[in-house]
């Protein structure tokens, strides 16, 4: 790090040279100087004597409009640097990459929950249940749970297709878990077990979007799955801006203004997306605010798409997660009053089983005719994977008091969540200590989204290499320190503002290294481009 900074202190344009040296990709960046849903830049294809069967001019233009910054240009650059470090150690001013870009806990050292993996192992290899020595290696409640699950699967065949909505017994378990969480009944027939939350988003947006005249209200900043899905299915993203000054607050007046603006453009708004806890912004909605949102959807006839995959990730004592289903039911709204899609995933929380691809959507308030159409679209994928289905049932029905695994399970869960809270606070404090950086507190989820005030000379340098200013900062940070973050332009932001998303997931012993490298880099960067 010091070697890099000492070298780059020699010339004013060395940070720009860093970007030029490593090149830019012909990937379009969603810059905050464009309106959300519109992308700048261009993608070109090389010519040849005989035209290839497919070119960027002949594929579906909706694919070109679709963007996903989380695995975009910065991540691709990081992968190239990772390979370079492997092939030529010592070739960079750092000896390892520090991935703060992706909500992928196990890839950064988080260990799986023992009870969950014991049950999954027994279900994957059921003949172990017939061996006497198995009970010496596995907890009694894990063995019992595996028997319960396998008895719900014909022939104990975890490699076979299931019902499109998922194994009925597992949906029963999840419905009971939802009821225990919310205090209101849940119907297993409303539940679709899915390969993570993403397929559910595609299903619902496909259902709603008929043409570019149909719009989806999405938060800005937002998780780019939503903007990408709306673009891919040919709709219009209708942005509503979260208020950074009030801790990324969701104001009903903003929803109303954006709804009216969309109507004036001839756009029919079909649904409202709410991410709670927030990604990339980390806020947790107050229950009173959720009541306002439910009323808004009811009054405007909108589907409420509630992304609740971070429901276990709440770190501050003055906030608590409440599902939108619980809130709407507490307001005495019935299913005929508001169509609601609630998403949960095994990829987040304290479990972090991203690669297992599991989760569910709970669909309420839709007519039987519409439910049949949702089922039809879901059936195109036949069913979700069985391991993910099993894990989703375990997440919603973990060990209880009196179970053999309860104490060890509780200790593992508490250790993970308390460590995440400490990491969030350490990074938040470090970011707020940097010149020109402000960062709201991390109330929940797995991310911080600091705002950076960049000097004019840095903005000009970014423009010179056809790059958004926060993407320029992120690339310079990557090449100088090995820290991987995602620029705010990939999530949307108020025009003229710049941010980046930083996860809190690197293991706790890595956090001081990240703080040290980031602090040293930021000072050098600001000095380099000071006006």
pLDDT at 210 over 60: yes
- The string of pLDDT tens digits covering residues 18-31 is 544 444 433 333 33
Per residue, the 3-state secondary structure of 207-266, as one string, reads HHCCCCCEEEEEEECCCHHHHHHHHHCCCEEEEEECEHHHCCECCHHHHHHHHHHHHHCC
Cβ 170 vs Cβ 152: under 8 Å? yes
Handedness of CA 411, 413, 417, 422 (dihedral sign): positive
Cβ(187)–Cβ(175) below 8 Å: yes
For residue 123, what are its two tokens?
A: 């279900």
CB 438 within 8 A of CB 454: no
Q: What is the pLDDT of residue 13?
A: 45
Distance CA 320, CA 405 (A): 26
The topology (CATH level 3) of 3-109+414-529 is: 3.90.1150
Q: Percent of the chain scored above 90 by pLDDT? A: 79
Shared fold status for 114-151 and 163-395 = no
Asked whether 328 and 294 are in contact (CB, 8 A), the reply is yes
Q: Where are the domains of the chain?
A: 3-109+414-529, 114-151, 163-395
Helical packing angle, 511-528 and 406-432, nearest 10°: 20
Q: Considering only residues 290 and 14, tell me which one the structure prediction assigns the higher pLDDT.
A: 290
pLDDT score for 47: 47
> Cβ contacts of residue 384 below 8 Å, gap of 6+?
162, 166, 193, 194, 195, 199, 357, 358
Task: In whole angstroms, give the CA distance from residue 114 to residue 95.
Answer: 32
Task: Determine the pLDDT at residue 492.
Answer: 93
Q: Which of 322, 464, 391, 440 is nearest to 16 (CA)?
A: 464
E strand or H helix that includes residue 526: helix 511-528
In Å, what is the CA distance from 283 to each residue of 133, 234, 240, 246, 522? Answer: 48, 30, 16, 10, 25
pLDDT reported for residue 74: 84
The architecture CATH gives domain 114-151: Orthogonal Bundle (1.10)
Query: Mean per-residue pLDDT for 379-407?
Result: 96
**H helical segments located in 37-167:** 61-65, 73-87, 114-124, 134-137, 140-150
Lookup: tokens for 154: 């014909």
Tokens of 15: 């940070």
Question: Percent of the chain scored above 70 by pLDDT?
Answer: 91
Report the DSSP beta bridge partners of residue 271: 216, 303
Give residue 509's pLDDT: 95
Is 61 a residue whose pLDDT tops 80?
yes
Which of 83-92, 209-218, 303-312 has the least mean pLDDT?
83-92
* Interval 151-168: pLDDT, tens: 999 888 999 999 999 999
Instruction: Look up residue 466 and give its DSSP letter.
Output: T
For residues 37-63, give the mean pLDDT: 63
Q: Which two three-digit tokens encode residue 443?
A: 């109330």
Query: 16 pLDDT exceeds 70?
Result: no
For residue 359, report the phi and psi dihedrals to the nearest 5 degrees. 160, -170
Query: Quick one: pLDDT band at residue 439, thresholds 50, 70, 90?
Result: very high
Q: Going by C-beta distance under 8 Å and a sequence separation of 6 or more, which residues neighbour residue 489?
A: 29, 30, 31, 32, 69, 468, 470, 471, 498
pLDDT digits (tens, 9 = 90+) for 232-251: 999 999 999 999 999 999 99
- Give mean pLDDT, residues 272-280: 97
> Is the four-CA dihedral 452, 453, 457, 463 of positive or negative sign?
positive
**What CATH code is assigned to 163-395?**
3.40.640.10
């Amino acid at each position: 790090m010091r070697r890099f900074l000492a070298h780059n202190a020699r010339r004013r344009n060395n940070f720009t040279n860093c970007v030029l040296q490593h090149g830019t990709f012909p990937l379009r960046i969603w810059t905050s100087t464009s309106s959300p849903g519109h992308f700048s830049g261009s993608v070109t294809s090389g010519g040849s004597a005989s035209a290839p069967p497919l070119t960027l001019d002949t594929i579906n233009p909706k694919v070109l409009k679709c963007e996903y910054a989380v695995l975009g240009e910065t991540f691709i650059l990081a992968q190239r640097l990772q390979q370079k470090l492997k092939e030529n150690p010592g070739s960079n001013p750092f000896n390892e990459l520090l991935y703060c870009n992706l909500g992928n806990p196990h890839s950064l050292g988080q260990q799986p929950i023992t009870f969950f993996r014991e049950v999954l192992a027994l279900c994957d290899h059921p003949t172990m249940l017939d061996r006497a020595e198995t009970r010496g290696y596995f907890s009694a409640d894990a063995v019992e749970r595996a028997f319960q699950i396998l008895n719900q699967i014909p022939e104990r065949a975890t490699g076979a297709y299931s019902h499109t909505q998922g194994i009925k017994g597992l949906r029963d378990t999840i419905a009971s878990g939802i009821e225990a969480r919310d205090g209101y009944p849940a119907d297993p027939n409303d539940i679709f077990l899915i390969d993570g939350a993403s397929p559910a988003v595609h299903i619902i947006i496909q259902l709603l979007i008929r043409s570019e005249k149909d719009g989806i209200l999405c938060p800005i900043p937002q998780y780019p799955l939503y903007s990408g899905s709306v673009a891919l299915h040919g709709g219009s993203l209708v942005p509503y801006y979260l208020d950074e000054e009030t801790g990324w607050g969701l104001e009903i007046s903003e929803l109303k203004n954006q709804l009216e603006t969309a109507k004036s453009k001839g756009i029919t708004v079909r649904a409202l997306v709410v991410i709670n806890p927030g990604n990339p912004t980390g806020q947790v909605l107050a229950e009173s605010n959720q009541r306002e949102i439910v009323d808004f959807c009811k009054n405007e006839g909108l589907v409420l798409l509630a992304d609740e995959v971070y429901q276990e990730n709440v770190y501050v004592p003055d906030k608590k997660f409440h599902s939108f289903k619980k809130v709407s039911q507490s307001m005495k709204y019935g299913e005929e009053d508001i169509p609601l899609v609630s998403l949960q995933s095994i990829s987040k929380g304290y479990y972090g089983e991203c690669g297992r691809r599991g989760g569910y959507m709970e669909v309420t308030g839709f007519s039987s005719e519409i439910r049949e159409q949702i089922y039809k679209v879901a059936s195109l994928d036949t069913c979700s994977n069985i391991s993910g289905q099993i894990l989703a049932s375990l997440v919603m029905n973990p060990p209880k008091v009196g179970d053999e695994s309860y104490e060890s399970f509780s200790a593992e869960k508490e250790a993970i969540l308390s460590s995440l809270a400490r990491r969030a606070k350490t990074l938040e404090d470090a970011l707020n200590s940097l010149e020109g950086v402000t960062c709201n507190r991390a109330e929940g989820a797995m991310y911080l989204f600091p705002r950076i005030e960049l000097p004019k000379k840095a903005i000009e340098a970014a423009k010179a290499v056809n790059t958004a200013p926060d993407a320029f900062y992120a690339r310079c940070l990557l090449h100088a320190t090995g820290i991987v973050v995602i620029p705010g332009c990939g999530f949307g932001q108020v025009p003229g503002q710049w941010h980046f998303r930083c996860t809190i997931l690197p293991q706790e012993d890595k956090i001081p290294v990240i703080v040290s490298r980031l602090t040293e880099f930021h000072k050098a960067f600001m000095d380099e481009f000071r006006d």
